[in-house]
Amino acid sequence: MNKCLIYLVPGFFGFKSLGSLNYFQRVSEILADALGRLGKDCEIIECMTQPTGSITRRADRLLQTIVETGGLEADEIHLVGHSTGGLDIRLLLSPGVRLRAGEEEELIAERVLNSVSISTPHYGTPLAGFFTTVQGRQILQVLTLLATTSTGRRSIYLVAKVLSRLTELDDFLGLDNTFLDALAKKLFHHITMEEQDPLWVFINEVSSDQGAIVQLTPEGMHLFNAAVVKRTDVRYTSIVTSSPPPFAQPFRDFLSPTRAVLCVLYGLMHKLVGRQHRHYPYPAVVEEYENELIEKFPFPFNSMTNDAVVPAQSQLYGELLDVVVGDHLDVVGQFRMAGGKKLSDWLPSGSRFDEERFRGVWKRVASVIAEPKGLTQE
């Protein structure tokens, strides 16, 4: 029987799960269903990663996961990376790469048929540059204090419990099914003071290794692309996402204090990410793909077009698989209400991303995975 493995690789600040909050929210379920309809049977594995660790360390963690889950015995492997996860995959597959002693990289790469990147900063993102500024470093220093001191953990714990209570109180005002409700249910209610609590482990990993921050700048990715090349026997495809300019959100979003703050944050991020580096511009898009991007985005496609984390022009690598109107986290299931279920919407962008569009993204991924062997790019 053919052994097919699919690995979902999270991005920058990524995790597998925190409390009952998953990074790839319902993705495995929807992808498996889409594959089943195409007659393809694969095991889907959601990967752990180092949230802000260097791409080299993240790629090594991916390699370790593949080896530990039977990748060396697989007949075919498909790698799907969101955001920085797409770069982890590219580095792992680069011919001649040496992440550790031995030949595991090559043995795994020989089994890989597809590399799918979603919202990946192949040519960097200005947002990474922000964290190299004084203000950005200060934010990360605060995270370090919160993770490594009992006082810091206690402060977060108490704030989480207060916010959980507030979500219960606001239900009496008719403010149920809010973003805060979803966050409280999935994360706040699960926090403990134990040092091994997943939240503290996550924050500690962020504070201890921030190598990817410098690497994800346009300058850093310029060097990455000079050294990391494609394998000729792997098909590389990409899904490009972008969301509307700031303040396209419905007026009702600004009536909720929580969502109003998130809307302003989205606007600031979108503006920051739209600033292309003067000395490291994005490569020109081939005419065929440029026409598709212009046609499918309901707003201008240029260097300022982005999903609030990654510029659209930085996301294209290999074949263009799909063009999606949605913010950076919509495509991994972190969007607004769907089917009556509470879902986290970290970036209220006004993109109107919905269940149908979400399933459509992962149907496209399934269609590539289900194609017969040998249909790789030229």
Residue 310: per-residue pLDDT: 98
Which letter does DSSP use for residue 324 in this model? Answer: E
Residue 95's nearest CA partner among 229, 222, 237 is 229
Backbone angles phi, psi at 109, to 5 degrees: -60, -35
| pLDDT value, residue 105 | 96
How buried is residue 340: exposed, middle or buried, by Cβ count under 10 Å (0-12/13-18/19+)?
exposed
Listing DSSP states for 188-246 in one string gives GGG--S-TTSHHHHHHHHHHH--HHHHHTSHHHHHHHHHH----TTSEEEEEEEE-PPT
Q: What is the pLDDT along the chain (378 residues), one digit of tens a residue?
A: 789 999 999 998 777 666 557 889 999 999 999 999 999 999 999 999 988 889 999 999 999 999 999 999 999 999 999 999 999 999 999 999 999 988 999 999 999 999 999 999 999 999 988 776 656 555 666 666 555 556 655 666 566 555 555 555 444 444 454 555 555 555 555 666 666 666 667 767 776 677 788 899 999 999 999 999 999 999 999 999 999 998 877 766 666 677 788 888 899 999 999 999 999 999 999 999 999 999 999 999 999 999 999 999 999 999 999 999 999 999 999 887 654 455 567 788 889 999 999 999 999 999 999 998 645 444
Nearest CA to 55 out of 215, 227, 226, 218 is that of: 215
Q: Which CATH number fits domain 4-127+214-370: 3.90.1520.10, 3.90.1150.10, 3.40.50.1820, 3.40.30.10?
A: 3.40.50.1820
Please report the pLDDT score of residue 173 as a whole number.
44
> To which H or E segment does residue 107 belong?
helix 104-109
Cα 12–Cα 16–Cα 17 angle in degrees, nearest 5: 115
This prediction has a pTM of 0.85
* C-alpha to C-alpha distance for 239 and 117, rounded to whole angstroms: 6
Domain boundaries, the chain: 4-127+214-370, 134-208
Structure tokens at 259: 């969502």
Residue type at 303 in one-letter notation: S
- The Cα–Cα gap between 119 and 240 comes to 6
Q: What is the pLDDT of residue 378?
A: 42
User: Among all chains, which residue has been given the structure tokens 């419990």?
Assistant: 161
Amino acid letter for position 32: A
d(CA 327, CA 348): 8
- Whether the Cβ atoms of residue 94 and residue 127 lie closer than 8 Å to each other: no
| Interatomic CA distance for residues 219 and 123, integer angstroms | 9
For the chain, give percent helix, strand, coil, nearest 5: 45, 10, 40
pLDDT on residue 199: 66
Tokens 């403990």 sit at which residue? 192
